A and B are shown apart, each in its own frame.
Chain A
Amino acid sequence: MSLRAQAREVARIDLVVERRVGDTLRIVLPFAVVALMIFSLATPSAITDLGDIGIAVFWGVAVLYGMQIALRISASETARRREVMSLIGLDPAARFLGRSFASAMMLMMFMTVLLVFTVVLFDPDLPDAWLPTMLLVIVLAASGLAMLSTLAGEVAGGLRNKSALASLIVAPLVVPVVVGASQTLESMNQDNGILLWILLLITTDLVLLTAGIGLSRPLEEASR
């Protein structure tokens, strides 16, 4: 079986499982929306225009909660399941690619819906023609977060406190995604170029893609 075919099958099954279990839509998304509300309620009265902090809060919540979506399968997969996949002949690189793709799809959906709530709750100042750029940024940010979370989930898989541990691993390393994503719209608002931030996001994604594929076999062996 080709790498692409295996990756496609892994992604398909992850999305089927997510559709049945429904963690993202039924639990994490509402939780994240409540988090947006909590941030707006916790904002001091000195900040009269919530729009000033809206996009910043969006990215903070999107990344921190999105992490939970992306980690849920990697971190919860049993050692036995990983062994079965290995014996069947699943290429670990295909597992990384497929899992990351499925997580990225879910994250994109999650972030897009969350963005709608952010616009409603915070009424941020948005530049002209912001939506296509924002959607591009969501694609890039979701991809980076998905790949990093998949890696972290595999590193921590099967260990005690795996979800918390994987989150701790992801959090500081996801900074380039947060900075690149949040600063893109900020730059547009200030009529500055966005190329640098987009390049930062693309570079981060490429680095994580390379690391994920390159480390997939050592990671599979280390997880046994």
Chain B
Amino acid sequence: MKRVQILLLLAAVALAGGAVLAFSAPLDRLQGEYTRLLYVHVPTLWIAFLAFGLTAFGSIADLIRKKMRWDRRAAGSAEIGVLFSVVGVCTGMVWGQVVWGQAWAWSAARLATPGLLVFVYIGYLALRQAIDDPVRRARRAAILGTIAVVQTPLVYFSVNLWRTLHQTQSIRPDGSTMEPEMLVALLVNVAAFTIAYIALLVGRTFVSRLEEDAAPATELAGDQVSPPRLSEVEDV
């Protein structure tokens, strides 16, 4: 619990710092104030992919090791991934509307892929909701997570092939097309969001463990069935 509190505090500080840099960084002359969406849109998509990646890794680890902690991590990460994907896609849509005059374009592969991934993981979470027993839930979810791992690259590749209109990457390995202050603000926000993700994940897995351990039945199932008492009840 203390670890969760420390991480949340760190995340709050990092996000605050990121916000300060985001609001003090120069604006793109074409996008104006909407430039600041970059500092939310990019980190949230990064977290979405990271979260789904951990769900995938956790699923495979659970399948092999059959340890509940991997299932908790995979599930917690999926929930966070869905949240960040939705935020990422929404900010991307606002940005698209402003910059390209189009909120959604299927040919914008970097919106389309997280847009589709959200539904993969909504299906994953829906499957988990349908199973009460934690062990059975973990095993089936791990299998679905593994199927998603192998199929998602093909989903990404096929959508990408289908033409893209998205903006060319601003951050390139050989140097950036962004101004240095913008780049610094972006990287700090990516780091801040990553810390926030870790804090949320640690907190979520902690809560999951509490839920699993909550109120174990002390009585054997058979002992919970009482003998009939028709004679004690009137008007039956």
Contact = CB atoms under 8 A, between A and B. Distances in A.
Are A and B in direct contact (Cβ within 8 Å)? Answer: yes
- Which bracket fits the contact residues of A? 35 or more
A76 interface: no
Contact of B146 (A173, A211, A223): A211
Given A155-B127, A161-B130, A168-B126, A183 B162 contact: yes
B154 interface: yes
B130 A160 contact: yes
Contact of A169 (B63, B123, B146, B158): B123
B126 A173 contact: no
Contact of A175 (B116, B131, B142, B143): B116
A218 interface: yes
Nearest to A182: B162
Contact of A215 (B120, B136, B143): B143
A175 B127 CA distance: 20
A162 B129 CA distance: 12
B122 interface: yes
Interface stretch (A1-9, A14-22, A201-209): A201-209
A155 B119 contact: no
Interface string A68-82: 000000000000000
A170 B112 CA distance: 17
A179 interface: yes
Contacts of B124: 169
Given A215-B143, A215-B146, A200 B130 contact: no
A65 B126 CA distance: 21
A168 B162 contact: no
A222 B123 contact: no
Contacts of A204: 151, 154
Contacts of B131: 159
A136 B90 CA distance: 39
A168 B119 contact: yes
Interface string B198-217: 00000000000000000000
B147 A211 contact: yes
A165 B131 CA distance: 12
B15 to A, nearest CB: 30
A172 interface: yes
A172 B130 contact: no
A172 to B, nearest CB: 4
Nearest to A159: B130
Contact of B154 (A151, A200, A215): A200
Contacts of A135: none
A113 interface: no
Given A156-B127, A169-B127, A172-B120, 16 more contacts: A152-B147, A155-B127, A155-B147, A159-B131, A161-B130, A168-B126, A169-B123, A172-B116, A172-B155, A176-B151, A203-B154, A207-B151, A210-B150, A218-B63, A218-B139, A222-B140
Interface of A: 148, 151-152, 155-156, 159-162, 165, 168-169, 171-173, 175-176, 179-180, 183, 196, 200, 203-204, 207-208, 210-211, 215, 218-219, 221-224
29 contacts: A155-B147, A159-B127, A161-B130, A169-B127, A169-B144, A171-B123, A172-B116, A172-B120, A173-B120, A173-B148, A173-B152, A175-B158, A175-B159, A176-B155, A176-B157, A176-B158, A179-B158, A179-B159, A179-B161, A180-B158, A183-B162, A200-B154, A200-B157, A200-B158, A204-B154, A211-B150, A218-B143, A221-B139, A222-B136
